[in-house]
Structure 1
Amino acid sequence: MKKDQPLPGRRSMFRIAACLGAAAVGGLLVHERAETPGRAPDGAGPVAGPSAAAAPPKATSYRLRPMTAFAPPALRRAKPPVRKRPFLEVPDTGRAMVLTFDDGPDPRYTPDILAVLREHEVRAMFFVCGEMATHNRDLLREMAADGHAVGNHTWSHPLIPTLPPSRIRDQLGRTSEVIEKTLGEAPLWYRAPYGAWNRHSFEIGADLGMEPLGWTVDTLDWMRPGTSTIVRRVLRGAAPGVIVLSHDAGGNRSQSVSALRRYLPELLDEGYRITVPRR
């Protein structure tokens, strides 16, 4: 998570992850456009929380390209209610979309994202990494206070299929514990780093009371392609039920913030409702 590009020694991880994408399933209910607390953004950062100038904690993992273009291998039949694939969309909800942000919270970028969402009175989902969350608990509280859904994105952003079940449980369990101790309730949703799921992750996530959520539109903002490119990808991919993947940490996310400022009002003007899923 310190760098946007993978180290040469991690090329083998791409080969492992390449077959571990996700396929769509249906059946989610959603909240409509949120009513958030009546506080106006100051345009320069959050109302509460750490200083935007604070340096983020060191992270132990690196950004790899999310693996969404590949079908997963066949999985052994799991007992209900364990799922075999993540949700990739929110169907049958009219003109509703979900905005998600991964890898944070980061005191440099998360406050500005929260301010934009607050300005437009919409809710989003933040899939946080435990090693970031534990050092930025005020930002977790701010997310919850504004009505956003806080999800589990593991502790240190590892490639899940390379881990034994005990390590997967540790990655998910420690992060859920930080969220629960900070917000008073455990997360209901989780997302596998890089979109690389396996049977153990579904079973352990279910055992911890969480549902798996993937995405429909990948902005590839972690590659820093330019603000206009990110905006174009979101607007071209906009459709009922779409889940948009962006990032508020893991590198320089100034383009992600600028893009959100541009595409969010356009989505609302086009009649989309920005929602968060309900279980």
Structure 2
Amino acid sequence: MKKLLISMFIAIIPFLLISGGTYPAGQNVLFTFDDGPNPLYTPQVLQTLHENNIQAVFFVVGQEVLKHPDLLAEIDRHGHLIGVHTFSHRNITEMTHAELRREIQATAELINRITGQNPVYFRPPRGKHNRAQLDLIYNMSYVPVKWHGCLEKRGVDKPEQLVNDLIKRIRHIPNPVILLHDGDPAHYHDRTATMQSLPLLIERLRESGYGFADPRDSSKLRQVEL
């Protein structure tokens, strides 16, 4: 009987750890960055990721790629995966099908011309979408994706608070996909807090038992497929 009780307790330990509030050990986080490339923020992100041997996905905006093709090339040189985040960063639910198709194609062509990568993943700006637009995206052979948790929070600029809040939100999610930003197409967001928070976030995630996913493992982004 004693052996049976011990066996039962061991069997439910993983459930207790996750549901009881400790961070899931052995899980891999995937970082994704939207809205770049940006000369102020993207180099800082690349340096931090390089120092920590982390690969990520960068969902880039076509008009920003046109301004900073060298930064896109640098993202690729560091071995990161590149996805499409439209050309203009407009809400795709306000676009016609023809407009959305042009925005995706133009951005994908820029990515391919500069890096040789053929993007597979698409992320709609602000996550906004509708069924008709998703059908078009799938018909163009792209996989539309979202995220599990976002680091940035309106009105909060303290790295400690941003990091703690995010880890609380993702602690019950296996292999979470995290959204961060390395750009500002609308020119009204200051990403300084993100730059300051990223090293702390990496440190806290590792302390909590997380590893970091290979972005080319298709199962990771498929978790947040729309």
The normalised TM-score by structure 1 is: 0.63
Task: State the shift of 1:152 in Å.
Answer: 0.4
Question: C-alpha distance in 2, partners of 1:128/1:223?
Answer: 25
Q: Find the residue that maps to 1:225 and give its secondary structure.
A: coil
Task: State the shift of 1:208 in Å.
Answer: 3.2
Alignment partner, residue 177 of structure 2:
243
Q: Find the residue that maps to 2:58 and give its secondary structure.
A: strand
Root-mean-square deviation (CA, aligned residues, Å) is 1.9
Alignment partner, residue 42 of structure 1:
none
Letter in 2 for 1:274: F
Q: Report 1:91-102 matches (<5 A).
A: 94-102=26-34
Q: Find the residue that maps to 1:134 and give its secondary structure.
A: helix
Alignment partner, residue 197 of structure 1:
129
Task: State the shift of 1:224 in Å.
Answer: 5.0
Q: Find the residue that maps to 1:177 and give its secondary structure.
A: helix
Alignment partner, residue 268 of structure 1:
206
Alignment partner, residue 99 of structure 2:
167
Distance change (3 Å), C-alpha of 1:253 and 1:190: same
Alignment partner, residue 138 of structure 2:
206
Task: State the shift of 1:228 in Å.
Answer: 2.3
Alignment partner, residue 253 of structure 1:
191
Task: State the shift of 1:222 in Å.
Answer: 6.0
Contact kept? 1:221, 1:247, Cα under 8 Å: no
Structure 1 unpaired stretches of 5+: 1-93
Match status 1:278 vs 2:217: yes
Task: State the shift of 1:271 in Å.
Answer: 2.2
Task: State the shift of 1:277 in Å.
Answer: 4.9
Letter in 1 for 2:115: L
Letter in 1 for 2:203: P
Question: C-alpha distance in 2, partners of 1:160/1:118?
Answer: 33
Structure 2 unpaired stretches of 5+: 1-25, 219-226
Q: Find the residue that maps to 1:116 and give its secondary structure.
A: helix
Letter in 1 for 2:179: L
Alignment partner, residue 217 of structure 1:
149
Contact kept? 1:189, 1:211, Cα under 8 Å: yes
More helix by percentage: 2
The normalised TM-score by structure 2 is: 0.76
Letter in 2 for 1:173: Q
Deviation per residue, 1:170-212 (Å, 9 max, x gap):
1111111111111112211110011111233323322333211
Question: C-alpha distance in 1, partners of 2:99/2:67?
Answer: 22
Aligned with 1:146 (options 78, 91, 116): 78
Deviation per residue, 1:37-86 (Å, 9 max, x gap):
xxxxxxxxxxxxxxxxxxxxxxxxxxxxxxxxxxxxxxxxxxxxxxxxxx
Task: State the shift of 1:223 in Å.
Answer: 4.9
Question: C-alpha distance in 2, partners of 1:109/1:185?
Answer: 22
Aligned with 2:47 (options 115, 139, 157): 115
Contact kept? 1:97, 1:242, Cα under 8 Å: yes
Question: Which protein is bigger by CA-based radius of gyration?
Answer: 2
Alignment partner, residue 60 of structure 2:
128
